Amino acid sequence: MNTRISAWRTGAGLLLASALLAGCSGPKTLYQWESYQPQVYGYLKGDSKEEQAAALERDLEKIKAKNGAVPPGYHAQLGLLYSGLGKDDQMIQQFRTEKALFPESAAYMDFLMSNASKGAKQ
């Protein structure tokens, strides 16, 4: 009888331990941020736009490889960087992607694209 109780306790203890460990993995996040936030901070500080764009492009590849989702503003930030680098086609593509992924950004993306086309005409 003691053997059965001991085996049951051991099994229950292992089950409890595995449940606790599974709970420690934390919740899965909705978005994969990678280095997005530090890059935005770098943009505000005036860091190199080339390096920031390269970092966001690398991170975008990582996110795609994981089948992850980019956070709101990611493509808009990349578009702003492309704008500063004179890569207008890539800028427009990023703004359109942001608008498609996050429809609530449509008015702002349209505004940025409108200003970009006005600047190109001048």
Query: Mind listing the pLDDT tens digit of every residue in the chain (122 residues)?
Result: 566 666 666 665 556 555 555 556 667 789 999 999 999 999 999 999 999 999 999 999 999 999 999 999 999 999 999 999 999 999 999 999 999 999 999 999 999 999 988 876 65
Q: Is 46 left (phi over 0), alpha (psi -120 to 50) or beta?
A: left
Q: How far is Cα 78 from Cα 24, in angstroms, rounded to an integer?
A: 34
User: Using CA atoms, how far apart are residues 70 and 80, in angstroms rounded to an integer?
Assistant: 16
Cα 65 to chain centroid distance, Å, stands at: 12
What's the pTM value of the predicted model, to 2 decimals? 0.76
What structural domains does the chain harbor?
27-121 (1.25.40.10)
